[in-house]
Structure 1
Amino acid sequence: MATPPVPLQLPPNFEANPPPMGPTPLPQPPGTDMTGICFRDQLWLNTYPLDRNLVFDYFALSPFYDWTCNNEQLRSQSIHPLDLSHLLKMTGTEYMLSEVMEPHLFVFRKQKRDSAEKVTPMLTYYVLDGSIYQAPQLCSVFAARVAFGTAASKLEKIGYVDSENEGAASESKIGKEVIDFKEVKRIDHIIASLQRKLPPAPPPPSFPEGYVPQPTTEEEKAPETQQGGEPQLPPVDPIIDQGPAKRMKF
């Protein structure tokens, strides 16, 4: 057995039609898309508490409100506009408070009532921290999602084509860079002329008296058949031994 709806308790200072604190909004035709705007009356918020009993009166100040709804008829009779016991007996357009998280979030559902059991949802509105918005319809969300996916795929293709073009341009640039042998010979000629003008390198300083160079690794691994009494000559520096006359000529 269904539990009968509990009527909402009105506060002692409740007014059926509290005076609007701002300019009266113009009524909008049914089905108008107003998802790009929001409504907020800070003066009203500073005067009245935003709770489940007064939030509908605040919502009625917004341009989202349909003045031909059944809730407005209840307001004109000094009945709370969200009283479900009266709304179930009426037919036509109405607003229902579907979600409440006082004092931050209130969700209104606009629907068409044909009977006490049959209703058709139309639009959804929400009051978030005093600002009223119209929630987008599901078809609009899907359409925006599809458009976003299409735009993202096109941007990815554009970036892929640009990277391919950059790669082809770099390859063509590398292929066009041909070595100029004339320039190489000219540089070699300049270096050779500079070397001819420079004085020859000075001879290396002689070793100190009594200095014996350390044997290298190859000399340590040499066969022991070598006569130990024979004096070993110090290693010869191949570059120093050639002298200035045996250097490569350019």
Structure 2
Amino acid sequence: MSATPLPPLMQPPAPPGADSAAALPPPPGTDMTGICFRDQLWLNTYPLDRNLVFDYFALSPFYDITCNNESLRSRQIHPLDMSQLTKMTGTEYLLTDVMEPHLFVIRKQRRENPEKSTAMLAYYILDGSIYQAPQLCNVFASRISRAMHHISKAFTAASSKLEKIGNVETESDAAASESKTQKEAIDMKELKRIDHILSSLKRRLPAAPPPPPFPEGYVPPASEQEKAPDDKLSSEALPTQVDPIIDQGPAKRPRFQ
């Protein structure tokens, strides 16, 4: 038994004028810098030079069909003929710079009289690819935004490194203070231990004997003569002792006649 085919789904009716609007290319806007146009078939068929470059540009969505150049094309006149464009008013395209066959610069401008025109936009054809040149204010805004991004990134990296350095310094200071405390505690223990040893040795050893007296005829230096009177009294109070080795009287030398 064969299945009964389902009827096709009914599509909603298209609004009036939708087919004609879809057939026409979108109108060129003021900001189309994100669009790139390239027709490789046309480039393989025709050479890209100053005579045919405008015909190639007319295929792109950047082209405004209401310009004066299109009016000249409809009358079989070259669209870049300046002798004819200066006699007209309105929007027009002008070929400003040429480096065949790689670079072509086209400027869109509004002409008010044969001597006065106002630039609107600029387009360039680079190796067959058509781009819209960004406006100067957009270039400055992009450069400033990029610079601010890098500056903000640099400050973020610097602040993170400073935080790490502060944490390391805090940890090192804490470790240094702890080691210093431990070192001081160890030094105090050693100091008490040495004092205890010295005091025990002092108790075991007898008192030191008094110093020997000066030999007869010895004159002490000036520094010793300027001592306090207490020192003199203490030295005089001590009993005089004679050293049998040092005090042996004047030397006896033979006299030769």
TM-score, normalisation: structure 1: 0.60
Q: Which residue of 2 aligns with 1:237?
A: none
Look up the SS of the partner of 1:39 in the other structure: coil
Look up the SS of the partner of 2:113 in the other structure: coil
Question: Residue 28 of structure 1: CA displacement?
Answer: 1.9
Instruction: State the identity as a percent.
Output: 61
Residue 78 of structure 1 is aligned with which of 76, 79, 82? 76
Look up the SS of the partner of 2:105 in the other structure: strand
Q: Where do 1:3-22 residues align within 5 Å?
A: none
- In 1, the alpha carbon distance for the partners of 2:24 and 2:46 equals 19
Q: Which residue of 1 aligns with 2:32?
A: 34
Q: Which residue of 1 aligns with 2:114?
A: 116
- In 1, the alpha carbon distance for the partners of 2:35 and 2:170 equals 54
Question: Residue 45 of structure 1: CA displacement?
Answer: 0.1
Q: Which has the larger radius of gyration?
A: 2
Per-residue CA deviations over 1:203-232 (Å, capped at 9, x if unaligned) read xxxxxxxxxxxxxxxxxxxxxxxxxxxxxx
Residue 42 of structure 2 is aligned with which of 37, 41, 44? 44
Question: Residue 55 of structure 1: CA displacement?
Answer: 0.4
- In 1, the alpha carbon distance for the partners of 2:113 and 2:29 equals 20
Residue 146 of structure 1 is aligned with which of 144, 149, 171? 144
Q: Which residue of 1 aligns with 2:248?
A: none
Q: Is the 8 A contact 2:111 2:117 kept in 1?
A: yes
Task: Say yes or no: does 1:64 pair with 2:71.
Answer: no
Look up the SS of the partner of 1:38 in the other structure: coil
Per-residue CA deviations over 1:72-125 (Å, capped at 9, x if unaligned) read 011111111101111010000000000001000000000000010000000000
Q: Is the 8 A contact 2:123 2:130 kept in 1?
A: yes
Q: Unaligned 5+ residue runs, structure 2?
A: 1-22, 183-257
Q: Is the 8 A contact 1:25 1:62 kept in 2?
A: no
Question: Residue 162 of structure 1: CA displacement?
Answer: 1.0
Q: Which residue of 2 aligns with 1:90?
A: 88
- In 2, the alpha carbon distance for the partners of 1:125 and 1:75 equals 20
Q: Is the 8 A contact 2:28 2:61 kept in 1?
A: no
Q: Unaligned 5+ residue runs, structure 1?
A: 1-23, 182-250
Question: Residue type of the partner of 2:64?
Answer: D
Q: Which residue of 2 aligns with 1:187?
A: none
Look up the SS of the partner of 1:100 in the other structure: strand
- In 2, the alpha carbon distance for the partners of 1:141 and 1:154 equals 20
Q: Which residue of 2 aligns with 1:7?
A: none
Q: Is the 8 A contact 1:25 1:63 kept in 2?
A: no
Question: Residue type of the partner of 2:26?
Answer: P
Q: Is the 8 A contact 1:125 1:135 kept in 2?
A: yes
Task: Say yes or no: does 1:100 pair with 2:98.
Answer: yes
- In 2, the alpha carbon distance for the partners of 1:29 and 1:134 equals 11
Look up the SS of the partner of 2:125 in the other structure: strand
Look up the SS of the partner of 1:114 in the other structure: strand
- In 1, the alpha carbon distance for the partners of 2:94 and 2:164 equals 59
Per-residue CA deviations over 1:2-60 (Å, capped at 9, x if unaligned) read xxxxxxxxxxxxxxxxxxxxxx87132442x1111211000000001100010001001
- In 2, the alpha carbon distance for the partners of 1:115 and 1:172 equals 76
Question: Residue 145 of structure 1: CA displacement?
Answer: 1.6
Q: Which residue of 2 aligns with 1:171?
A: 169
Q: Is the 8 A contact 2:69 2:93 kept in 1?
A: yes
- In 2, the alpha carbon distance for the partners of 1:25 and 1:47 equals 24
Question: Residue type of the partner of 2:149?
Answer: A
Look up the SS of the partner of 2:94 in the other structure: strand
Q: Is the 8 A contact 1:27 1:65 kept in 2?
A: no
Q: Is the 8 A contact 2:28 2:62 kept in 1?
A: no
Q: Do the aligned partners of residues 94 and 131 (structure 1) sit closer, same or farther apart at CA in structure 2, a change above 3 Å counting? A: same
**Cα root mean square deviation, aligned:** 1.9
